[in-house]
């Protein structure tokens, strides 16, 4: 798969309606994201199935701690984030089987947010993903990828409490080398998107992502095409807002395009609140 073992240090589609949704009020906020991913096929660079009897399952509880400060740089407000994934992996194919339960690769974010008016916001930031997950080059399943990455991001959010809501984010991922294998995953572009309609306390919509690897993988065993991956996913989303400081959402994202990647499904359940 594109990227070493098909892994990236950001889960495509994770942002959903939270893209650009940095609150304008100082304080500590919390987002719990529970996701379950499953796939029974992986594809080559043309999107054709590779016959390796894949059975991959991943249950991830991602804890996001967001702090919005009272520091302003001009019209921008400074914020930061800590992202801690707790991962259970169960992967098998024609070559073997592996299970791993551990912390994944932890990320930190430093960013700026601009609230243009009561409905619109723009957010920019830089994520630093660290190799904190477990990794053994001889293991079939690892919760970490054993390299660092720097991920500049930009997002836009529009929300009409009685109508349209749109959230989009763009992310570049610049990967370092896995020093245990001398393999370097190519750099990646990820676009998360969400669009929906607010009806009272309920929001109905669609969410998904597009991922495109724009430089070649390098290292031992890399195919002549550079093993560049590409994927597109889409699915429905439901949100219930209990009050301005608490909401719960659920979504299903189905891979409709997968090249040099696994092709599967991801279920998400999210809870957002303010401490």
Average pLDDT of every residue of the chain? 96
Q: What is the mean pLDDT of residues 232-236?
A: 99
Q: In which element (H, E) is residue 273 found?
A: strand 262-274
Confidence of residue 221 (pLDDT cuts 50, 70, 90): confident
Nearest to 108 by CA among 254, 9, 252, 243: 9
What does the block give as tokens for 275? 């401490």
| Integer angstrom CA distances of residue 150 from 74, 108, 171 | 25, 10, 10
pLDDT, one tens digit per residue, over 6-20 is 679 999 999 999 999
Residue 2 above 90 pLDDT? no
Question: Is domain 4-274 classified as CATH 2.40.128.130?
Answer: yes
Strands (E), 185-228: 188-199, 202-213
User: Which of residues 3 and 230 earns the better pLDDT score?
Assistant: 230
pLDDT digits (tens, 9 = 90+) for 26-45: 999 999 999 999 999 999 99
In the chain, where the domains are located = 4-274
CA 161 – CA 173 distance, rounded (Å): 33
- 194-208 average pLDDT score: 98
What pLDDT, on the 0 to 100 scale, is given for residue 1?
A: 47
Q: In the prediction, which pLDDT does 3 show?
A: 62
Q: How far is CA 44 from CA 51, 201, 205, 258, 259, in A?
A: 10, 43, 31, 8, 6
pTM above threshold 0.85: yes
**Tokens coding 7:** 């892994």
pLDDT band at 162 (very low <50, low <70, confident <90, very high): very high
H/E element, 93: strand 76-93
d(CA 62, CA 87): 8
3-state helix, strand, coil in the chain (%, to 5): 0, 65, 35
C-alpha angle 85/87/90, rounded to 5°? 160
């Amino acid at each position: 798969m594109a990227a070493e073992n098909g892994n990236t240090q950001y889960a495509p589609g994770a942002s959903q309606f939270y893209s650009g949704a940095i609150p304008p009020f100082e304080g500590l906020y919390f987002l719990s994201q529970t996701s379950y991913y499953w796939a029974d096929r992986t594809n080559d660079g043309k999107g054709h199935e590779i016959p390796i009897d894949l059975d991959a399952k991943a249950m991830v509880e991602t804890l996001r701690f967001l702090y919005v400060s009272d520091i302003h740089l001009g019209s921008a407000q400074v914020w930061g984030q800590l992202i801690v994934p707790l991962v259970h992996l169960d992967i098998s194919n024609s070559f073997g089987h592996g299970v791993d339960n551990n912390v994944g690769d932890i990320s930190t974010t430093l960013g700026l947010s601009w609230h243009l008016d009561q409905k619109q916001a723009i957010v920019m930031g830089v994520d630093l993903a660290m190799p904190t997950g477990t990794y053994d080059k001889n293991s079939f399943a690892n919760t970490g990828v054993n390299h660092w990455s720097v991920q500049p991001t930009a997002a836009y959010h529009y929300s009409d409490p009685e109508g349209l809501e749109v959230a989009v984010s763009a992310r570049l991922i610049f990967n370092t080398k896995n020093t245990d294998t001398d393999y370097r995953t190519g750099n990646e572009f990820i676009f998360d998107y969400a669009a929906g309609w607010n009806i009272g306390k309920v929001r109905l919509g669609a969410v998904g992502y597009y991922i495109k690897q724009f430089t070649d993988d390098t290292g031992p065993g890399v195919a002549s095409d550079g093993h560049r991956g590409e994927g597109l996913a889409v699915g429905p989303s439901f949100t219930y807002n209990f009050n301005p400081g608490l909401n719960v959402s659920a979504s299903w994202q189905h891979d409709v395009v997968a090249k040099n990647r696994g092709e599967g499904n991801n279920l998400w359940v999210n809870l957002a609140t303010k401490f």
